[in-house]
Amino acid sequence: MDRFLVEGGRKLKGTVTVSGSKNACLPVLVASLLTDEPFVLHRVPDLRDVRTTLKILQALGKKVQYQNGTVTILADGALKNTLPYELVKQMRASFWVAGPLLSRFKQAVIPLPGGCALGARPVDIHLKGFERLGAACTTQQGNVVLSAQALHPAKITLRFPSVGATQNLMMCAALIPGETVLENVAKEPEIEDVSAVLRQMGAEVFSDEKGRLVVRGRSALHGVEHTVVADRIESGSYMLAAAATRGDVRVEGCVPEHNSMLLDCLQEAGVPLEIGADYVQVKPYDTPLKPLRVKTAPYPGFATDLQAPWMALMSLCNGTAEVDEDIFENRFMHAPELVRMGADIVTEKSIARITGVKKLSGAHVMASDLRGGFALLIAGLCASGVTEIERVYHIDRGYENPEGKLNALGARVTRYNPDKDDF
């Protein structure tokens, strides 16, 4: 498997352009199952999860072309309503095909999904919503079996504002004539990108005065041509990498307001920023980094996907910082690896306390999930000596060409495979 060798101690400097959002393009790609008409998406990042999603669409019967960031999806015979476990086990977002397949076929068989090892991430919110829409949901031999005589619009209240469940239910409801109302929904920018695509396809999707998501479905939907929104997690990750190295980096092609909580925290910690309409400039500084306490929360709160990269930054603060992970259990697996690099981190249940150190040291570490992997990259950039990161396939799931983008900023990151390369 590929690894990264990171030569630390170099301040990042230059400009990095943000890719399209992984968390938006995956459900938007899946939305192509709602129609047989041509479906064209631009600014699609070349990621492991994107490639897996395209394979899933092909396995379901779509013809897929992917070139220079543009995906074209066409009908290619009859669609299937079942998926092989070999594809589903690779990522959790594969379960998003359930909504479109259920609305088109009134039945679907989906293996329970895989993805990052972030503790229990049940799909019960999705299933309870499908039941409200008229489906019967059972689990048989590791598969979720969905079936319905007919589907109908409904009022659905989510027990937690799950992004995946919100998107899945939106897509399902878009192909059910009538008005479905979703309460306690996720409000992440990626939700709006999916909404925009569904509106182009012919459904009415909007938030009402009570903050509920209203979907007025249609019996048939059209194809679309759409450009994916900027990836706020990638943009935030590069801002944190720049801040941790005390560099001078312009993050272009982003939507700063999508990272407003992170920008506030960076400025409060003492990192100078210049914020434009579609860029954020992280400027160099020589003052001590102030420790902060952050608590992850659904948007517009502090993003759980930026918790690990933030922890890497706080490892170098002047004092003791605290992170309260309130979204996912078991999301501190990067902490012991940061400790191997000299960080002072103590975790207890959902709390991590980070006492800043003057410097980190290169070490042999292992990525255990997507965002934790990028946190190790940030730590390696700051550390003295060389850091070797194993299992970088986790990082590849959510960051397009990370070594290329970092090296263009002056980093020295080398990808190699010890089973193939001779060093």
Cα-based angle 119, 86, 129 (whole degrees, multiple of 5) = 55
Asked, as a colleague might, if the bond just before 300 is cis with ω within 30 of 0, I would say yes
DSSP assignment string, 386-411: EEEEE-THHHHTT-SSHHHHHHHTT-
Q: Within 10 A of 7 (CB to CB), how many other CB atoms are there? A: 17
How far is the CA of 47 from the CAs of 60, 251, 389, 396, in angstroms?
A: 20, 19, 19, 6
> Contact 266/294 with Cβ under 8 angstroms?
no
5 DSSP β-pair partners: 388, 414
Query: Where do runs of H (alpha helix) occur along 106-158?
Result: 124-132
What residues form DSSP beta bridges with 82?
Answer: 109
Q: How far apart are CA 87 and CA 13, in angstroms?
A: 39
In degrees to the nearest 10, what's the CA dihedral of 274, 275, 278, 281? 30
Is the distance from CB of 312 to CB of 378 less than 8 angstroms?
A: yes
The string of DSSP letters for 31-51 reads GGGG-SS-EEEES----HHHH
DSSP secondary structure string, 57-124?
HHHTTEEEEEETTEEEEEE-SPPPSB--HHHHTT-GGGGGGHHHHHHHHSEEEEEPP--S--S----H
CA distance 24 to 14: 27
Please identify every residue annotated as catalytic. 116
